[in-house]
Amino acid sequence: MYANSTAAMSELVFYVNGKKIVEKNPSPTTLLADVLRYKLKLTGTKVSCGEGGCGSCTVMVSWFDRSTSKILHYSVNACIVPICLLHGLAVTTVEAVGSTKTRLHELQERLVSGHGIQCGFCTPGMVMSMYALLRSNPVPTELQIEHALKGNLCRCTGYRPILDAFRSFSKDSGCPMGDRCCRNKDKKNSSDVVENCNENKNESDMGKQELIFPSELQLSDVYDQQTLEFKSDEVTWLRPVCLKDLLLLKKQHPEALLAAGGTNVAFYLRNASREKPLVIIATTHITELRSFEENEDGFLVGAMTSMTLLENKLMSLIDKHSETKTRLYHSLLDALCLFGSPQIRNRATIGGSLATASRLADVNVLLLAAGSHVKIASTDGEREVKIHDFFTGKSTTCLKPNEVITDVLLPFSTQDEYCGFYKQSPRKDLTLADVNAGLLMEFEAKNSSTVKNAFFAFGGLSSMLAVAKKSSSFVIGRKLDGSLLNELMLSLANELDQFVSGDDAKSFKVAVAQGFMFKFFLKISHQRFPKLEFLRLFKEEERYLLSSQADLQQKHSGVQVYDIITNQSETDSVGQPVPHRYAKQCATGEAVFIDDILPSQGELYLTLVTSTKASAKILKIDPSKALAMKGVVGFLDHTSIISSNKTGLYLDEEIFATEKVDFVGQTIGAVVAESHEIARKAARAVVIEYEELQPITTIEDAISHNSFHSWPGDMGAINYGNVSKAFGSCDHVIEGELKVGSQEHFYMETNSVRVVPKGEDGEMDIYCGAQFATGIQMVVASALNVPCNRIVVHTKRMGGAFGGKEFRSYLVTLPSALAAHRFNRPVRCSLERRQDMQITGYRRPYLAKFKVGFNNDGKVLALSLDMYSNDGFHPEISPIFMAQSLFYSDNCYAIPNIHVRGHLCKTNLPPTTAMRGAGVPQGVLICEYWMTKVADFLKKPQHKIREINMYRGGDVTFISVPIEDSMTRCFDEVLKQSNYEQALVNIENFNQQSAFLKKGIAVTPVKFSPGLPPSWCMAGAIVNVYLDGSVLLYHGGVESGQGLHTKMIQIASRVFDLSIDKIHISETSTGVIPNSVTTGGSSGTDLNGGAVLDACNQLMARLKPIKDSNPNGKWEDWVKTANEQKINLSASGYYSHAYKEDFDWKTGKGRPYSYYTYGSAVTQVEIDCLSGSYVILKVDIVMDVGKSLNPAIDVGQIEGAFVMGTGLYALEEHLFGANGHLETSGAGKYHIPTISSIPLEMNVSLLKDCGNPQAVYSSKGIGEPPLLLSNSVFFAIENAVIAARRQAGLSPDFAFNSPATTKQIQSACGLGPQHLLKSLVT
């Protein structure tokens, strides 16, 4: 098989955290994350998306580069790295960085103290990305830090505190020692100044703790020289170490896949269904493919060169050569900056990118335009082809089956040659392009304006890279001027139109491509003819249009303003910015999530078998192929049910489908096996035969088919005042519609459960990440036909939830419990990301139809509103959430006459569920939308119309809830804080001068009532004091990153006047706190805090006589004495909300809420009218949180909620196809905000002098209200679009729905070529 006679090794050797790992005959299908988590029990490395798209699994890989004699460190995604690629390498996981048992690493310490941790599931990945950067570059710049984190997603924090914590390592930042900085040594009172503190903190001190690279790997190249061969039943893995052997192997296995960086191999290993064994040849150690050579034509790069190494090489060449010679390299850096993520770039290779022939690959389209050459080799010899001939069709190349790419020539540019790379994508990072372009023009001679050559290549327009041959030829021989640009735009439109035929985004893609050409044209004209002023450019748009992507990178910043209480005991932590109680455990990877629990002997793994049809009869269920697989233990379906097959809140759902399926993802069965991998593979082998029926999938379909869920009782409509009469007296009446898109929770930890049968009396322990432990207990007890007292549900923590683990977690729990009961063995189930997204529910989309009456002064007198929600096939709790939408149809405005109706559409989509805000985000956006339409109709400032209509302190809403004056105080304060009036003037001036960039500003207020339905407003707690004075606290709430446990500890610390270090919360358990309600509605602190306060007060009342008799004693003394006096040191607390009213739907009377949390936000944005991309320039937020229990946690909730809301209103498209399948499934297609998505400047202030007598220590619930404020992003974008339309002479009345995606922005701006060319100076 190999050219040399040495036998291939079948033993894999690598290091993990300094320990040598030897694997004999490893399976080629095994991924690094699986080895770390399941074999080595290093569960600090998390798996969230399973496709390298979120960064939770980030680890550091190190190797000794013998060509430079340097140890190189880089971050990788463990979830997509095949273990066989690691021979002779060293892996470092978060466990080796720092530990609570020894000491934390400095970066972990700073992340903890900087409040950069909430749920903590993403934290180990964040730590490892930063750690890898510091190992390579101990003192990076702030931009390098932000760049290193762009491959890591966080759904909780909003990123700002993470960036703040890590940027303290930057050479650009202020010293982390503050006043103790060495630069202050000449100041008075400087005795505690640290010498050379920045250097100590950033380099020396950290170096003492770093893991030493294994000497074996550094001193010997034996592992580099070994050929490898690993086999399983399905896959053969081969690793040659020289080009000759590679070519021989490719001749013997022409169908073999080549694994260079291996970023795509994992998908073949895990997901592909194969008819014959797969052969993979790893090219990682072929030195001939990692060579570099500079010659007179350009830079010859080995095909195995990683994108990161290519970046470094290009920067060196740019420093070495002139700007004219390296223009292509500058453009390549622009492309690489947007290529995947740092983790992907560290592994992906230039040869791999070319070989995939992807129509969306950023590098490919530029190399195509630049006329690169590709060197190819086989046992038949070598050949060199022009890249124009290399790509031959859809994902195809001219490579013969036995050929491999060896080198790629990156040509030098001539002084008369210009090139550019452009990309438009839904999100700036971690996203494939909608459209990208590589553009090249060459001119005749120096100073000539005549085009000699041109090549225009585009990606994303069709199934393959598109070359605009006609337009490229059209410009040759023409002079660069306005006339040429005018004709070129028309030529492009006609030519590109043919490439995108049948694409629903056709006009968008063509317009974006034209915009790319327009920018390129400007770039050339200004670089080549700086004195040729044929275009009027405002300085800001000149900066944007003529700068490269790298030049446009901007740092993020923010200010957080809140008061810290100083006149209280040192041990009283209430009101103090205490870090999250379990932040250190999260930062070190020690925090245990569900799938981190080590398996017990005989533990089984379950995978659901779900419907692939939206509406169909089940004709046959055949698990025989699955059951025949080695390691499969059994299969469950509706015939396995012990009691009733009915479940759900209204018992209208089936645990396992029987005769019919009503949506894609409906559970039909479950495979139980001895490993996750076997169970998932077997589940795919179960055969289901269907008879398909016609599904209903959209709101419009449901309306036309009269398909609605029924409302319980009299719910569904509210009449307040006399709407009909009011409309007759209004000066103006307008009507309109708005669509509000749905949203996926995208919690970082997918729904997971571990069920352990106790072996007698039907007892069972359930470990799950669920918000509603009692709900899980009840449905499992019902399914197993046992009393609730036999089922104990345990929840330690959740890796995010946001409502998605409130009512749908039973989907994984019930089948797992049935399997555990049947086989009498522990069973666990952890959903893969794509399945979790398809089946577990989402925020419901809306269609609103409104009619608003108002007077000339802007005062709204009447509102008629119909809201339609797509609730899927089962209503779950849709009536409650639509009721929320109705209750908030006024947002913050006093409307004397209101008639609002809700319609619950029944469709063949998965049931929707709770999500942060629970119906309020849709209702509030709709209200603010028609309010802006009133202002625009009257041509009056939007903030003035809002002010005119706002409630005032002392008013009562149309649902009888009193308003506090802090509502208007927040609004006034944020206008002042943001300097709104001046900002409005500045934006108007900017928009008058700028043709292609437009800015927008918007201010929106919010009121939101934390709480649950009145019958649920109760909580319990138990507080145990032990003989050493330590305190163990239990309550019914669940920690999901919102800081609930931390606040409960703070409450106890105040009552006991005790350090928080002495107070502990272990878990939430139905065996300790019975009948707990769900943790949601921003009510966790209000309810559970009241119960904790009650229990603590009881204990303090018992201790009072002892304290009075020994006032100078210590806590431990009082506890000891109390025990000696046989005083009970355990107390059970209980709290039920004093407010017990409810809303009477029949009469329209009643008060469903007790109090509101208030806030206001001002957002400023800048949009690119040519592409639709936007930047959130600045956000100012003022929130009334009462008297904050923990201002740092509250600010974190505000920032995180705002960024999540930004995703809802301006980024995240959650789309189902007509067949009911989720089209935006997985981290690669569903785009939550990244670091680049957040505001460049975000300032948060907590309103001073506020209180709330209806909650513990005058605090207020804060988890959800700030999310609503992010609708200001939507309206700021809309206002920028209006400015663009005004310039284009288009009507300001246009359809603009949520989310405000780049596609919608670009299309709504309406700036076609005819408008662009108006800017030309004739």
Which residues participate in catalysis according to the annotation? 1264
- With CA atoms as reference, report the closest residue to 440 among 347, 383, 371, 386: 371
DSSP string, 225-267: T--EEEE-SSEEEEE-SSHHHHHHHHHH-TTPEEESS-TTHHH
Q: How far apart are CA 943 and CA 936, in angstroms?
A: 11
- Beta-sheet strands, E only, within 250-390: 257-259, 278-282, 292-294, 298-302, 373-378, 381-386
**Helix-strand-coil percent breakdown of the chain, rounded to 5?**
35, 25, 40
Residue with tokens 């307008």: 734
Q: What tokens appear for 1173 in the block?
A: 């991309």
Among the listed residues 1001, 902, 890, the one whose alpha carbon sits nearest the alpha carbon of residue 956: 890
Structure tokens at 637: 């379906």
What is the biggest distance separating any 2 CA atoms in the chain, rounded to whole angstroms? 103
Whole-number Å distance between alpha carbons of 406 and 242: 12
Residue type, 1156: Y
Query: What DSSP element (H or E) covers 863?
Result: strand 860-870
* Contact between residue 656 and residue 667 where contact means Cβ atoms under 8 Å apart: yes
CA-to-CA dists, residue 1209 to 53, 610, 1006, 1273, angstroms: 22, 31, 15, 7
Q: How far apart are the first and last CA of the chain?
A: 70
Q: Are 454 and 521 in contact (CB under 8 A)?
A: no
Closest CA relative to residue 163, chosen from 202, 212, 187, 129? 129
Query: How is residue 486 written in tokens?
Result: 């005018």
Q: Give the residues across from 61 on adjacent strands.
A: 74, 91
Q: How far is Cα 1047 from Cα 1185, in angstroms, rounded to an integer? A: 14
What is the length of the chain? 1322
With vertex at residue 276, the alpha carbon angle to CA 275 and CA 279, rounded to the nearest 5 degrees, is 135
Supply angle C-alpha 684, 686, 690, rounded to 5.
110
Q: Name the residue among 667, 652, 1118 with its Cα closest to residue 875.
A: 652
CA distance 1108 to 1099: 14
DSSP secondary structure string, 919-964? THHHHHHHHHHHHHHHHHHHT--HHHHHHHHB--TT-B-TTS-B--
User: What 3-state DSSP class applies to 1006?
Assistant: strand
Helix 920-938 with 942-949: angle, nearest 10 deg: 120
Distance CA 898, CA 882 (A): 16
Residue 1320 has φ and ψ, to the nearest 5°, of -70, 140
Question: Is residue 391 within 8 Å of residue 368, measured between CB atoms?
Answer: yes
In 3D space, the residue among 752, 943, 713 whose CA is nearest the CA of residue 835 turns out to be 752
Can you tell me the distance from the alpha carbon of 487 to that of 468, in angstroms, rounded to the nearest whole number? 14
Q: Rounded to an integer, what distance in angstroms lies between the CA atom of residue 1175 and that of residue 638?
A: 51
d(CA 479, CA 818): 76
**Residue 466, strand partner residues:** 458
Helix, strand or coil, per DSSP, at residue 1144? strand
- Name the nearest CA neighbour of 1281 among 1269, 1272, 1291, 1271: 1291
Phi, psi (deg, nearest 5) at residue 1165: -130, 165
